């Protein structure tokens, strides 16, 4: 059984901006997020012991403490890890922990349904680690638009998947070229 390790939590925390107030993506139809990328469901009181807002508050006005954001992140990662394990029960048999951490980061970023419908998931089902590594570059768009933060995240996830190095700090230096890591043309 795969499990949530502190390294997994730290790795994901590096990418997910901590939101103390709920917000939506650019379109108002999207599900609001709070904390470290937590999708607000209304069931947060089950984890936190209290609801995010008061009766009558708009879902767009919820606030959260750092401690509660941490609780939701850990809960979300445990839930995601369990779901990934249910769909890939032998993952820990043929992969190293750093590869699992990389995959959990990817799955957390895109969401479980998108992960289960991804080329990365298909490659993992077939135990094709080379294919898995190759497909990180396919997930750098949001609403059809290439996003630099996704290019950087996928480059780090791919690099970690291949080497075991957590190179998050390299992203903000000249040590890692995310375009080269993902084999992407720069002007595209």
Q: What is the pLDDT of residues 59-74, one digit of tens each?
A: 777 889 999 999 999 9
Q: Domains in the chain: how many in total?
A: 1
Q: What is the CATH number of the domain that holds 175?
A: 1.10.530.40
Pick the more confident residue, 48 or 74: 74
Structural domain boundaries, residue 146: 6-181
Q: Are 158 and 130 in contact (CB under 8 A)?
A: no
Residue 1 belongs to some domain of the structure: no
Give the pLDDT confidence score for residue 1 in this predicted structure.
63
Residue 43 belongs to some domain of the structure: yes
| CA-based nearest residue to 113, from 84, 145, 75, 78 | 84
Residue identified by tokens 């997930």 is 139
Residue 187 belongs to some domain of the structure: no
Backbone angles phi, psi at 56, to 5 degrees: 95, -15
Is 80 exceeded by the pLDDT of residue 105? yes
Residue 188 belongs to some domain of the structure: no
Residue 56 belongs to some domain of the structure: yes
Task: Indicate the pLDDT class of residue 165, thresholds 50, 70 and 90.
Answer: confident
């Amino acid at each position: 059984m795969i499990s949530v390790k502190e390294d997994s939590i730290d790795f994901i925390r590096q990418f997910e901006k901590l939101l103390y107030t709920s917000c939506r993506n650019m379109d108002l139809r999207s599900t609001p997020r709070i904390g470290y990328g937590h999708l607000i469901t209304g069931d947060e009181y089950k984890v936190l012991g209290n609801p995010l807002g008061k009766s009558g508050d708009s879902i767009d006005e919820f606030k959260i403490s750092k401690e509660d954001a941490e609780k939701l992140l850990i809960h979300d990662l445990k839930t995601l890890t369990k779901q990934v394990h249910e769909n890939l029960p032998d993952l820990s048999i043929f992969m190293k922990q750093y590869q699992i951490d990389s995959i959990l980061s990817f799955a957390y970023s895109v969401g479980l349904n998108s992960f289960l419908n991804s080329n990365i998931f298909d490659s993992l089902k077939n135990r094709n680690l080379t294919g898995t590594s190759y497909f990180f570059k396919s997930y750098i768009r949001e609403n059809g638009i290439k996003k630099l933060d996704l290019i950087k995240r996928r480059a780090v996830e791919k690099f970690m998947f291949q080497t075991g190095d957590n190179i998050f700090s390299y992203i903000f230096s000249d040590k890692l070229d995310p375009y080269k890591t993902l084999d992407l043309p720069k002007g595209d």
